[in-house]
């Protein structure tokens, strides 16, 4: 799948489909976009520790048939001590939009030890924030407060499709 996935991403890039990365786990071509920033572009300060610190609006399209719930993981692989988990949300009812400053489903735990969205606040340099949305064939019915790893394990065998959006942020910009 590795080469096919990369070729697919390159083709989508040539077609001008910015704002998303598509993964074909289910082949449905689900997309995630944000009206406030394009894929691999800087996020507005509003969504950071230097602004209101709220989650951005996310729009989800081409959701696979048979999807019963969505899950969202937001993380920063550029954090100095390893990947920092900013948000874990699951059992999100089927929707085409996650509203700004919202709690769209059950909350997992972040690296900061909270369930709520932890806004970008990198100590130095530009960091990448991965917004990963998963279309699932069932509600997971897990308890709130689970870790990113526990959610990923529980999702195995239930993922119909996945899409990803990357936002950049740099406090000194």
pLDDT digits (tens, 9 = 90+) for 94-117: 999 999 999 999 999 999 999 999
**Cα-based distances in Å from 163 to 4, 76, 103, 114:** 16, 16, 20, 25
Q: Please, are residues 30 and 61 in contact by the beta-carbon 8 Å criterion?
A: yes
Architecture (CATH level 2) of domain 19-169: Alpha-Beta Complex (3.90)
Angle, CA of 112, 115 and 121, to the nearest 5°: 40
User: In which band, very low, low, confident or very high, does the pLDDT at 45 lie, cut at 50, 70 and 90?
Assistant: very high
Neighbours of 77 (CB within 10 A): 11
For tokens 């969504």, the residue is 47
Whether residue 124 contacts residue 105, with contact meaning beta carbons closer than 8 Å, is answered with: no
pLDDT at residue 71 is higher than 50: yes
Rounded-to-integer distance, Cα 9 and Cα 20, Å: 10
| Single pTM value for the model | 0.85
pLDDT at 5 over 90: no
Dist CA 122 CA 114 (whole Å):
18
Instruction: Please report, for the chain, the start and end positions of each structural domain, with discontinuous segments joined by +.
Output: 19-169
Q: How many CB atoms lie within 10 A of CB 48?
A: 20
């Amino acid at each position: 799948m590795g080469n096919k996935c990369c070729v697919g991403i390159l083709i989508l890039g040539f077609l001008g489909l910015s704002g998303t990365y598509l993964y074909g786990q289910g082949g449905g071509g689900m997309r995630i976009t944000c009206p406030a920033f394009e894929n691999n572009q800087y996020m507005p300060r509003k969504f950071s520790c230097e602004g209101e610190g709220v989650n951005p609006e996310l729009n989800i399209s081409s959701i696979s048939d048979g999807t019963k719930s969505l899950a969202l993981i937001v993380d920063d692989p550029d954090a100095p001590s390893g990947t920092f988990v900013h948000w874990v949300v699951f059992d999100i009812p089927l929707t085409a939009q996650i509203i700004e400053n919202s709690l769209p489903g059950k909350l997992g735990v972040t690296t900061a030890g909270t369930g709520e969205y932890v806004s970008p606040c990198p100590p130095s340099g530009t960091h990448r924030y991965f917004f990963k949305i998963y279309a699932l064939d069932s509600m997971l019915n897990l308890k709130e407060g689970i870790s990113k790893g526990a959610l990923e394990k529980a999702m195995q065998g239930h993922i119909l499709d996945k899409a990803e959006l990357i936002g950049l942020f740099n406090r000194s910009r």
